[in-house]
Amino acid sequence: MKRGIENTAADFYQMLNVKRNADQDTIEMAYARMALKHHPDVAGDSPKVQEKFAQINEAYMVLSKPHERLEYDQRLSTPEVEYQEEVISTDEGRGAEESASSSGPQSSEAATRQVEKQANPSSGLMSRKKLERIKYESRNLIGKGDFWRATELMRKAVIAYPRDIELRKLLAKSAAGRGRLREAVEELKKAGEVEYFNPEIHYLIGDMYLQGNQIDSAEKSFTNALSWQEDYGSALKGLEKIRALKNKKLPWWKKLLRTGK
């Protein structure tokens, strides 16, 4: 069972205050509003606030991914999790699950394609299956050090799927392999626009800055990662590395004072 599917006590659509036929942009804007409103730094760092914030993040993590959203919608359709909302009388604007119910039996694969199209209209330029094959081949090329071919292979894919997080991370890795750290950071920032609550993305940005010897920017990115997950190990190690680098740059007398503390 995937993350969040088993938790039907709290309706994820209601959690973000959107309807079940909401498109991806609507879901993202709703998440941004709710996340900012209920972030512990704003609403207070109480257990109740932390729980609410975690539920909002979980709702977005499920609804922002077509396959998980489809599975969650199917779960909501069961009698024990009946969902009530205003009936939409026209086909235009319906979610995949509503269209399916009005048009009779529909295969799971067809329903998945509908949800993918709703979440990412430009994905019609390339099938999801082809995208996965491109990512697989790109990983192999990156592993062999062929960063240029990997980048070329992914160029069309990112046009069709500009919001695919894994694809952006692979492009960043390929750019870093070609020595283009600024380009790598830009790819990761685009990934962060989709999942800015994801600590891994902030850590990866920090790591790129660290490779480019931009210590202050790296420190800020690692700190951002920890603001979303305070025990994120990679970010903690990154900050330790930064402290060591800063300590190495200190004059000998300051190091002596620190040792004496």
The pLDDT tens digits for 164-206 are 999 999 999 999 999 999 999 999 999 998 888 899 999 999 9
pLDDT over 90 (residue 86) = no
Looking at the structure, tell me whether residues 89 and 150 fall in a common domain: no
Do 105 and 150 fall into the same domain?
no
What is the pLDDT at residue 238?
93
Mean pLDDT of the chain: 76
pLDDT at 223: 94
| pLDDT tens-place string over residues 207-248 | 999 999 899 999 999 999 999 999 999 999 999 999 888 887
Q: Are 30 and 57 in contact (CB under 8 A)?
A: no
Which of 188, 206, 185 is closest to 196 using CA atoms? 188
Rg, C-alpha atoms of the chain: 22
Domain enclosing residue 161, as ranges: 128-249
Which pLDDT band holds residue 250 (cuts at 50, 70, 90)? Answer: low
For residue 256, name the pLDDT band (cuts at 50, 70, 90): low
Per-residue model confidence (pLDDT) at position 251: 62
The helix/strand/coil state of 157 is helix
Q: Tell whether pTM > 0.85.
A: no
Domain match, 244 and 179 both: yes
Domain of residue 75, CATH code: 1.10.287.110
Q: What is the pLDDT of residue 27?
A: 87
Q: What is the model's pLDDT at position 145?
A: 93
> Which sign does the torsion angle of CA 209, 58, 118, 131 carry?
positive
Say if residue 88's pLDDT is above 70: no
Same domain (yes/no): 202, 221: yes
pLDDT of residue 231: 92
Same domain, 182 and 76: no
The string of pLDDT tens digits covering residues 58-69 is 888 888 888 888
Domain end call among 64, 89, 119:
119
What pLDDT is stored for residue 107 in this prediction? 44
Residue 227: inside a domain: yes
Q: Which two tokens stand for residue 214?
A: 């931009």
Is 27 within a domain? yes
User: Residue 54 gets which letter from DSSP?
Assistant: H
Q: Let me know if residue 6 belongs to a domain.
A: no
Pick left, alpha or beta for residue 50 (phi over 0 → left; psi -120 to 50 → alpha; otherwise beta): alpha
Convert the pLDDT of each residue in 96-147 to its tens digit: 334 333 344 444 445 445 444 444 444 446 788 888 999 999 999 999 999 9
Query: Using an 8 Å Cβ cutoff, are 206 and 241 in contact?
Result: no
Kindly state whether residue 257 falls inside one of the protein's structural domains.
Answer: no
Give yes or no: residues 141 and 214 share one domain: yes
Residue 225 or residue 82, greater confidence:
225
Q: Total structural domains in the chain?
A: 2
Residue that terminates a domain, selected from 119, 152, 167 = 119
Which pLDDT tens digit goes with each residue over 20-61?
Answer: 888 888 888 888 888 878 877 778 778 888 888 888 888 888
> Among 119, 143, 162, where does a domain finish?
119
Written as six digits, the tokens of 33 are 């509003």
CATH number for position 220: 1.25.40.10
